[in-house]
Structure 1
Amino acid sequence: MKTRREELKELSEKDLKEKLDAERIALMRLRINHAITPLDNPSSIKYKRREIARINTELRARELKKEKE
């Protein structure tokens, strides 16, 4: 079974950027929905924030690897 980080490493840079945009939109929707009516699972907001951070970390690692070469 693959971890989230391993799955992110297999994606292309374009796919990562698309996934990042989708996650940011989903996070914004969760926050708006939570402000209107409390969510059943408010920890899903934390999960989305961490997923965005993982994607940003992978993108930055690839950028640094390109600079190093």
Structure 2
Amino acid sequence: MFMKIAEIREINTKELVERIEAEVAGYNQMVLNHSISPLDNPAQIKQLRRTIARMKSELRQRELNNK
């Protein structure tokens, strides 16, 4: 669920796009569940949001390097 940048760089681009979509869906579900009943560890939301940002940053960097 929570990945470091080194792990993200090892993933190929197609799989990275799929992982971003899956993580965003999971994030949205987690936020919805948290609004209904509090999570045991609300810091998970912050960690997941940052992981998604790392993935999107890596994807954008790959796009810029290919041009």
- The list of structure 1 runs, each at least 4 consecutive aligned residues, that deviate by more than 3 angstroms after superposition, is none
CA-based RMSD of the aligned residues comes to 1.1
Distance 2:9 2:34 in 1: 31
Structure 1 SS opposite 2:38: coil
Distance 1:27 1:66 in 2: 29
CA shift for structure 1 position 48: 0.8
CA shift for structure 1 position 4: 1.3
Determine which structure has more spread, i.e. the larger CA radius of gyration.
1
TM-score (norm 1): 0.89
Unpaired stretches in structure 1, ≥5 consecutive residues = none
Specify which structure has the bigger relative contact order, considering alpha-carbon pairs within 8 angstroms and separated by 6 or more residues.
2
Unpaired stretches in structure 2, ≥5 consecutive residues = none
C-alpha distance after superposition, 1:20-40 (max 9, x if no partner)? 011001101110100100010
Distance 2:32 2:6 in 1: 31
Aligned length: 65
CA shift for structure 1 position 6: 1.1
Identity %: 43
TM-score (norm 2): 0.92
Q: Are 1:65 and 2:54 counterparts?
A: no
